[in-house]
């Protein structure tokens, strides 16, 4: 069972990561952006700060000449594999973001929700992946 203190620490970690990752516009070049390189750079910094060095980054150029990064982290040496997959690109702001409730490229916390472009698609998977790595690192597994 996870303690209330641990839940609060995990919540704060997720908020801190969101505030670092969500402001980085990771929009596909075909949608008018520069791609995910800067966001991948930040995620690699976060991994390094967590003490995780066993990750490999694969930077592949797409047909526009833009670097499209992939980050693979390996943990443990068990015979079975659990893959956690997430994408780090976002779509341009528009639609409901035009209403001005919250800025699209900022992580705005209201209660137990984080608003910002990409927090749901697919930021939640990125934050969960980082949290799993944090717990695996702390737990020594």
CATH assignment of the domain containing 44? 3.40.630.10
In angstroms, the CA 28 to CA 21 distance is: 16
In angstroms, the CA 107 to CA 117 distance is: 8
Q: Total structural domains in the chain?
A: 1
Domain range spanning residue 81?
4-139
- pTM score, two decimals? 0.92
33-63 pLDDT tens trace = 999 999 999 999 999 999 999 899 999 999 9
């Amino acid at each position: 069972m996870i303690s209330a203190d641990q839940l609060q620490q995990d919540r704060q970690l997720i908020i801190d990561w969101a505030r670092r990752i969500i402001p980085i516009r990771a929009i596909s070049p075909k949608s008018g952006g520069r791609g995910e390189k800067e966001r991948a750079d930040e995620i690699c910094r976060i991994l390094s700060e967590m003490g995780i060095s066993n990750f490999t980054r694969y930077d592949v150029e797409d047909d526009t000449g833009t670097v499209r990064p992939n980050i693979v982290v390996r943990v443990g040496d068990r015979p079975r594999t659990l893959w956690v997959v997430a994408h780090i690109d976002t779509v341009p702001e528009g639609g409901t973001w035009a209403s001005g409730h919250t800025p699209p490229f900022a992580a705005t916390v209201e209660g137990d929700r984080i608003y910002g472009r990409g927090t749901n698609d697919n930021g939640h998977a990125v934050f969960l992946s980082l949290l799993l790595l944090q717990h695996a690192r702390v737990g020594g597994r």
